[in-house]
Every structure is written in C-alpha cells, then in structure tokens.
Amino acid sequence: MQVDVFSKSLTTLAVDCYVVGVHENGELSDAGRALDIASGGALTRVLAQGDFAGKLGDAQLLHHVPKLRASRVLLVGQGARGSVTRKTWRKAMQHACAALLRTSAKSAALSLTRPGSRELDDYTCARSSAEIAQLGLYRINDLKTGKKPKPGALERLQIGPFRPKALAGARRGAAHGLAIATGAATMRDLANLPANVCTPTYLADRARQLADQYPSVSVRVLDEDEIRKEKMGCFLSVTRGSAEPPKFIVIEHGAARSKHKPVVLVGKGITFDTGGISLKDPPSMDEMKFDMSGAAAVLGALHVAAELKLPLHVVGLVAACENMPGSRATKPGDIVTSAAGLTVEILNTDAEGRLVLSDALHYARRFEPAAVVDVATLTGAIVVALGSHQAAVLSNDDALAAELVACGRNADDRLWQMPLAEEYGEQLKSNFADFANVAGRDGGALTAAAFLGKFTTGMSWAHLDIAGVAYLSGANKASTGRPLATLADFLIGRSRR
C-alpha cells in the first residue's frame, strides 16, 4: 500500500472513499462538515435518522452521497468531541482501517479528529496512521488448506490535512509507519510459524533472505562447530538434547559505517522450549513455539533499518536452538563454562533463555557497542508482574532505560522499568560453580536479568523481558509483533543522533 499526506481540503481529492470522524450524538467533525456542505447536507440528513451516533469503534459506510468526488463515505465514530485522546484516536483509526479494508475501494482519503498536537504531533500522527493501515492488511500466516479470505483492495491511502509546513515531517512519518508495519509482519510471520517449520536453520535462512534483499545487510551464520570454537558452553548446553542443529546468527545493517560504534540487538531464539529435563507442564506448551519472539523482533528491526536505509550501524545477534529433553540433554546440576569463562551450575534446564543470551551478550563485546539491547521471552515471572500490557526493561544504564521507555511511549508499545540490582544477583549463589542459573521463585524476572548482568559489565545494556506482550493466548492466539515498534523507534532515534 502507498500512503501519502495532503494539506488541501478533503473534497478536492479524487478517491474511491472519504473517511471522516463523527462525534457523539451525530455531531460531524470538521472534515465531516466540509463533506456535508459539499454534498448539500447529505450527511446531516443521514445522521438525522439517528442510526449512527458516533460511538467510538462504530463505522458506517455510505454509498452515492451526491456531488462528491468519491462514491463512498465512511463515517467513523470518535466519541465525544472534546474527549479525543491519543488512545481513542488510535482506536478510531483501527476501526476505520478495518472497515475501509472490507470495502473494495482502491483509494481513500482519511481525516479524523486529532487530539492536541502535544499528545500527537504531525510526524507521529502520520506514522501511526500508516502503521495501523498497513497492519490492517496483515493476515495471519496460517497453514490452513481452505480458500484464503480476499486480501484488502486498498492501494493508496491519503491522510491529512496537515499544515503545509508540516507536510515534510508527516511524509517522513508515513514512510516510517509503513516500514514499521513491514518489520512487524516479518516478526509476526516468524513467531507464528510452528517449531517444526521455524527451526534455527529457518531463522538463519530468513536472515540470509534479508541480506539478499537489501545491499546494506550482511549475514554470517555460525554452525555448531563454530559455536564450539567461540566456547559458547552455555548456549551449547541448551541445544544438547535436540537433534535440530543450532545456529548463531550475526546480521548487520550499515556495517560500512564502522567508524561509528554500533547498536547491538540480541534476540532469544529458542524455537521450542520444552523446559528440557526440567520438563514443563503440558497445558499450553504449544505456546513455547513463541519462545523465539525476541529473535523475530531483532530480525524485524533489522528489516526496518534496511528498509529505511537508516544511517546507523546495527548488529543483530540471534542464538537459535531448541530446548529438548533427550539422552544427551543437560541435567540439573550440570556445570558448564560460558564464553566469558565463568562457570554456571544449571539447576533448572527450563531457565535456558539466560544461558543462550549470556553467550550472545558476551559475543556483543567485540563490536564495542554504543548500546546493547536484548529482547527475550525470558520469564513467566514477568507475566505475573506486568501482565500482557507492558514489557519490562531492566538496565545497567538509567539513561538507556529512560530512552527505551520513551521509545515505547512514542510507539504506543509501552515498557516499564524494573530494578536491576546487585542484591538480586547475590541470590544466584552456587556451592559448585561461579553461580547458578536460577534463584528461586521470588523476583524471578529480576534474578534472570541479574544473571544477564553478570555478562554485560562495562557495556551500556538493557534487557527487555517480553514474555507477557509478545503473543496472545486463547482464541486469539498469535504473535502481537511487540516490541518491534519500540525497537524501530529506538533505531530511528539513534540514527538521528
């Protein structure tokens, strides 16, 4: 889909459909009033029937409105006029796009009532609009054999009006929004695939595809022998029980800019987490196919960086393997040596994410990064603590944590900072090794982060625990694409420094 911005009056645009807001009690928005006047009061006559009250989330399609350059008008409920917030605006936008994409309109011009500019600036308005519209076209990549539902027909969406002075920023926003939606689709497709399809090898192939598609992207994949050469004993301990070969993926965008210190993104790529010998309970174990969501987010973020040709060196590191029980699997009490040289007593083989990440975080050091951000469905404890609305950020650099929290706010993909503190690390004491990989139930997400912290000293590092936000369970089971938008905003921001 193409998304453009406009500054003229809606009525001058020749499109298949106009989309305008209606407020409570059938009160027209400014754009709606302009259409009403141009159509000789046709909208007022429709609203006077009283069937459409402008409730948030409602939408009503009208045909053959007289004297307009579009054959359709889509009315979108925006609730009370004085109470349009960023949140209600987004919701109206989502409903507008859903309704619009059910029509066979190929082009549309959209103008909703916006909240105050301090709540939603022109760039962000255009970016969110493009992102929401493009994501509306996303269809889950299921493996059903029946006929697929018809894809949306919309080819060109115009959004506005923006002040002429704001057009350049809005245009940039629209381009960014489309790229973010593309990256989110990459992430969702990977995360939704079953583990027998989306193996470590599959993830590596997807990374190579990005390198084929974009000249700014290069990929190197380490196989098991090369992983051994890197002495990644923690990573290897996780893959031991699996017949599926592990892969360590190094994907770079903008490596030619090697004068500048890169941003390194690290993704947990457990393509299936059975728990290993510390086997998980059967209920909803299938959801552990989503345990590579961090890796998918990293590949999605690289996709955005490449699509936008961001002037920034970005390195993505993905430690990908399965966590399986088996006769060769790591056993509780086994002690392994990490790439950093520290020994770890594996008391619970289900705490595998921190093991693969610790070796990946150590690998990040060689890039002398400006910042390292790891993304992982790391703990059930964070689901208990924050539920499914906000992901956790823990960091040894409060400025980096604040930056990421702000990115989450910009992207409407919220994060909440949780403590990273030495006390939590002390709980990882082992009688037999430098430390254990688990520290009991209390503060489980914080002790997990403290474990990672042992491998990141001296680097500006943040950890995103996305176990609660990365996917939905139940009837709507699917990847959410979170926190791709936050990562994209972070990279965009870093590229402008």
Q: Is 353 in the site for Zn ion (CB under 5 A)?
A: yes
Enumerate residues 298-337 that contact Mn ion by CB under 5 A: none
- For residues 123 and 69, the answer to whether their CB atoms sit within 8 Å is no
Catalytic residue (one of 127, 354, 482, 494)? 354
Catalytic residue (one of 90, 91, 102, 280)? 280
Q: Which residue has the tokens 């990256």?
A: 183
Report how far residue 39's alpha carbon sits from residue 46's, in angstroms, rounded to the nearest whole number.
12
Smallest gap from residue 159 Cβ to Zn ion (A): 40
Question: CA 300: distance to chain centroid?
Answer: 8
Report how far residue 297's alpha carbon sits from residue 274's, in angstroms, rounded to the nearest whole number.
21
Spell out, one character per residue from 421 to 460, where the chain touches ligand BES: x when CB under 6 A holds, - when not. Answer: -----------------x-----x----------------
Q: Is 170 in the site for ligand BES (CB under 6 A)?
A: no
Smallest gap from residue 198 Cβ to ligand BES (A): 15
Smallest gap from residue 485 Cβ to Zn ion (A): 23
Report how far residue 480's alpha carbon sits from residue 52's, in angstroms, rounded to the nearest whole number.
31
- Structure token pair of residue 198: 């989306």
Is 354 annotated as catalytic? yes
Smallest gap from residue 357 Cβ to ligand BES (A): 10
- Which residue in 98, 137, 383, 478 binds ligand BES (CB under 6 A)? 383
The closest of 31, 24, 34 to 58, measured between CA atoms, is 24
Is 172 annotated as catalytic? no
Smallest gap from residue 381 Cβ to ligand BES (A): 5
Report how far residue 183's alpha carbon sits from residue 291's, in angstroms, rounded to the nearest whole number.
18
Query: How is residue 70 annotated by DSSP?
Result: S
Q: Which is nearer to ligand BES, 131 or 350 (CB)?
A: 350
- Which residue in 189, 322, 350, 403 binds Mn ion (CB under 5 A)? 350
Q: Which is nearer to ligand BES, 56 or 445 (CB)?
A: 445
Report how far residue 318's alpha carbon sits from residue 316's, in angstroms, rounded to the nearest whole number.
7
Neighbour count for residue 121 (Cβ, 10 Å): 17
Q: Could you tell me which residues are beta bridge partners of residue 399?
A: none
- For residues 214 and 253, the answer to whether their CB atoms sit within 8 Å is yes
Report how far residue 361's alpha carbon sits from residue 54's, in angstroms, rounded to the nearest whole number.
51
Q: Which residue has the tokens 């909208």?
A: 43
Q: Is 325 in the site for ligand BES (CB under 6 A)?
A: no
Report how far residue 109's alpha carbon sits from residue 10's, in angstroms, rounded to the nearest whole number.
7
**# chain residues binding ligand BES, by CB under 6 A:** 16
Q: Is 340 in the site for ligand BES (CB under 6 A)?
A: no
Q: Is 348 in the site for ligand BES (CB under 6 A)?
A: yes
Q: Is 489 in the site for Mn ion (CB under 5 A)?
A: no
**Catalytic residue list:** 280, 354
Contact positions toward ligand BES, by CB under 6 A? Answer: 273, 291, 348, 350-353, 377-381, 383, 438, 444, 467
**Binding positions for Mn ion, rule: CB under 5 A:** 273, 350, 352
Residues making contact with Zn ion (CB under 5 A): 270, 273, 291, 353
